[in-house]
Structure 1
Amino acid sequence: MNYNLKPYKYIYGSTLLGSNDKFFGLIKINVETLETKTWSRNHDLQIAAEPVFVPDPNGLDEDDGVVLAPIVNFKEGDAPFVVVLDAKSFTEIARCKIGQRLPLGFHAQYYNN
């Protein structure tokens, strides 16, 4: 379902601010209740890029699907990866290592089709 220019309940983002490590990672915000769920990085040398929501084609709820986000690693020997989160619970269900370094300026691309 395409929620562009339509009412929606959830937004997803990457977080880089705050004095607590739980604020470094990814966040899901219920814009009606302001309830938040977070996914935290493994160590302080990781940065999460913009998450992308992929809806479940058979889903019934707005947050039925997965959230994909590239994670940039600055720790020597750690490969960057894409984390896959269950959008409803915001828990990690998979990660896919990327075979080469991601530039820090790597950003999501948005296409209508």
Structure 2
Amino acid sequence: MSPIAIYDTGANSEGFGALTRGALQLQGGCVVYQTDSETLVPVYPDGTEWDADGERVLLADGSMHAIGDEIELAGGQVASLSGSTSIPAGCPSDLEYYIVVP
């Protein structure tokens, strides 16, 4: 099972224009995003895939983010999710989410 959270790009992601910097980590079967101040669950747009052998997130545009990489993500932070999302069972339920926009 994939450790990345996914949302349906048909859902409205307007208004998510923040840019944040942090590192991807694999934590208990879930990809998380560690910033200087908090840990978030990044929720990627559908079309994003997990490469288990390389431990990296493969985005639909062809770019990739490996576990341990320090990266910038565009999007926005939310406390709860609505709409069609797929959250891995291993993701901590006490963390907030970061909707990643392409």
TM-score, with structure 2 as normaliser: 0.32
Structure 1 or 2, whichever has the larger Rg, is 1
Larger RCO of the pair (alpha carbons < 8 Å, separation 6+): 2
TM-score, with structure 1 as normaliser: 0.30
